Chains A and B, each alone.
Chain A
Amino acid sequence: FFIVGLIFIPIGIGIFVTSNNIREIEIDYTGTEPSSPCNKCLSPDVTPCVCTINFTLEKAFEGNVFMYYGLSNFYQNHRRYVKSRDDSQLNGDSSALLNPSKECEPYRRNEDLPVAPCGAIANSMFNDTLELFLIANESDPTPTPIRLIKKGIAWWTDKHVKFRNPPGEGTLEERFKGTTKPINWLKPVYMLDSEEDNNGFINEDFIVWMRTAALPTFRKLYRLIERKNDLHPTLPAGQYYLNITYNYPVHSFDGRKRMILTTVSWMGGKNPFLGIAYITVGSIAFLVGVVLLVINHKYRSTSNTADTVAF
Chain B
Amino acid sequence: MVLFPRQPHPVDSMSLWHKASPPPLETWACAGEENWVDSRTIYVGHREPPPGAEAYIPQRYPDNRIVSSKYTSWNFIPKNLFEQFRRIANFYFLIIFLVQLIIDTPTSPVTSGLPLFFVITVTAIKQGYEDWLRHKADSAMNQCPVHFIQHGKLVRKQSRKLRVGDIVMVKEDETFPCDLIFLSSNRADGTCHVTTASLDGESSHKTHYAVQDTKGFHTEEDIDALHATIECEQPQPDLYKFVGRINVYSDLSDPVVRPLGSENLLLRGATLKNTERIFGVAIYTGMETKMALNYQSKSQKRSAVEKSMNVFLIVYLCILISKALINTTLKYVWQSAPFRDEPWYNQKTESERQRNLFLRAFTDFLAFMVLFNYIIPVSMYVTVEMQKFLGSYFITWDEDMFDEETGEGPLVNTSDLNEELGQVEYIFTDKTGTLTENNMAFKECCIEGHVYVPHVVCNGQVLRDSSGIDMIDSSPGISSREQEELFFRALCLCHTVQVKDEDHVDGPRKSPDSGKSCVYISSSPDEVALVEGVQRLGFTYLRLKDSYMEILNRDGDIERFELLEVLSFDSVRRRMSVIVRSAAGEIYLFCKGADSSIFPRVIKGKVDQIRSRVERNAVEGLRTLCVAYKRLVPEEYEAVCGLLQAAKVALQDRDKKLGEAYEQIEKDLVLLGATAVEDRLQEKAADTIEALQKAGIKVWVLTGDKMETAAATCYACRLFRRGTQLLELTTKRIEEQSLHDVLFELSKTVLRCSGSLTRDHFSGLSTDMHDYGLIIDGAALSLIMKPREDGSSANYRELFLDICRNCSAVLCCRMAPLQKAQIVKLIKFSKEHPITLAIGDGANDVSMILEAHVGIGVIGKEGRQAARNSDYAIPKFKHLKKMLLVHGHFYYIRISELVQYFFYKNVCFIFPQFLYQFFCGFSQQTLYDTAYLTLYNISFTSLPILLYSLMEQHVGIDVLKRDPSLYRDIAKNALLRWRVFIYWTFLGVFDALVFFFGAYFMFENTTVTSNGQMFGNWTFGTLVFTVMVFTVTLKLALDTHYWTWINHFVIWGSLLFYVVFSLLWGGIIWPFLSYQRMYYVFMHMLSCGPAWLGIILLISVSLLPDVLKKVLCRQLWPTATERTQRRVQHRAPADATPSRDRPLLKDLLPQSRRR
Contact = CB atoms under 8 A, between A and B. Distances in A.
Among A8, A213, A219, A299, find the residue whose CB has the most chain B CB atoms closer than 10 A: A213
B1143 interface: no
Q: Which 6 A-B pairs have the closest CB atoms?
A: A124-B345, A214-B1020, A66-B1012, A79-B923, A268-B1008, A214-B1017
A4 B1012 contact: no
B1088 interface: yes
A106 B1074 CA distance: 18
Contacts of B1101: 277, 281
B1093 A11 contact: yes
A268 B1108 contact: no
Contacts of A252: 339, 343-344
B1007 interface: yes
B1155 interface: yes
A292 interface: yes
Interface residues of A, number: 85
Interface in B141-195: none
A216 B1097 CA distance: 25
Nearest to A70: B1005
17 contacts: A1-B1153, A2-B1152, A3-B1155, A11-B1093, A79-B924, A83-B1075, A87-B1073, A87-B1077, A124-B344, A157-B1080, A158-B1079, A219-B1007, A253-B339, A267-B1088, A281-B1097, A281-B1104, A292-B1112
Given A79-B924, A299-B1116, A120 B347 contact: yes
Among B1001, B1003, B1093, find the residue whose CB has the most chain A CB atoms closer than 10 A: B1093
A297 to B, nearest CB: 10
B1013 interface: yes
B925 interface: yes
Contacts of B1010: 264-268
A94 to B, nearest CB: 15
B1017 A80 contact: no
B345 A123 contact: yes
A215 B1108 contact: no
B1012 A278 contact: no
Contacts of B556: none
Contacts of B925: 77-79, 82
A43 to B, nearest CB: 16
Contacts of A83: 1075
Given A120-B346, A123-B345, A162-B1079, A267 B1089 contact: yes
A150 to B, nearest CB: 13
B343 A75 contact: yes
A173 interface: no
Nearest to A285: B1104
A271 B1002 contact: yes
A284 B1011 CA distance: 33
Nearest to A77: B920
Nearest to A124: B345
Given A214-B919, A214-B1017, 14 more contacts: A3-B1155, A75-B346, A75-B923, A77-B920, A77-B1017, A79-B924, A106-B349, A161-B1079, A212-B1016, A214-B1021, A219-B1007, A268-B1088, A277-B1101, A278-B1097
Contact of B921 (A78, A86, A120, A153): A78
B339 A155 contact: no
A32 interface: no
B476 interface: no
Interface of A: 1-4, 8, 11, 15, 64, 66, 68, 70, 74-88, 91, 101, 103, 105-107, 120, 123-124, 152-155, 157-158, 161-162, 184, 208, 211-221, 224, 249, 252-254, 262, 264-271, 273-274, 277-278, 281, 284-285, 288-289, 292-293, 295-296, 299, 307
A221 B1007 CA distance: 9
A220 B1014 contact: yes
A268 B1084 contact: no
A120 B345 CA distance: 6
A105 B920 CA distance: 20
Nearest to A208: B1014
A78 B347 CA distance: 11
Given A87-B1075, A124-B345, A221-B1013, A79 B1089 contact: no
Interface string B742-767: 00000000000000000000000000
B1094 A274 contact: yes
B1154 interface: yes
B680 to A, nearest CB: 35
Contacts of B1115: 292, 295-296, 299
A162 B1078 CA distance: 11
Given A213-B1017, A270-B1006, A285-B1104, A162 B1076 contact: yes
Interface of B: 106, 339-340, 343-350, 919-921, 923-926, 998, 1000-1017, 1019-1021, 1069, 1073-1077, 1079-1080, 1083-1084, 1088-1090, 1093-1094, 1097, 1100-1101, 1104, 1108, 1111-1112, 1115-1116, 1127, 1152-1155
A214 to B, nearest CB: 4
Given A80-B923, A221-B1012, A271 B1006 contact: yes
A75 B920 contact: yes
Contacts of B1108: 288
A273 B344 contact: no
A266 B1088 CA distance: 8
A214 B1015 contact: yes
B947 to A, nearest CB: 28
A292 B1090 contact: no
Contact of B1002 (A87, A152, A274): A274
B1012 A64 contact: yes
Contacts of B1094: 274
Contacts of A4: 1100
Contacts of B339: 252-254
Contacts of A249: 344
A268 B923 contact: no
Contacts of B1021: 214
B618 to A, nearest CB: 42
Contacts of B345: 74, 81, 120, 123-124, 184
Given A78-B920, A292-B1111, A307 B1127 contact: yes
A285 B1152 CA distance: 12
B1090 A274 contact: yes
Nearest to B1000: A215
A264 B1075 contact: no
Contacts of A184: 344-345
A267 B1093 contact: yes
Contacts of A264: 1007, 1009-1012
A124 B346 CA distance: 8
Contact of A268 (B106, B1001, B1007, B1111): B1007
A218 B1005 contact: yes
Contacts of B1069: 91, 161-162
B335 to A, nearest CB: 11
A154 B1013 CA distance: 6
B169 to A, nearest CB: 74
Contacts of B1012: 64, 66, 153, 221, 224, 262, 264, 268-269
Among B343, B1015, B1115, B1127, find the residue whose CB has the most chain A CB atoms closer than 10 A: B343
Contacts of B1008: 267-269, 271
B1047 to A, nearest CB: 24
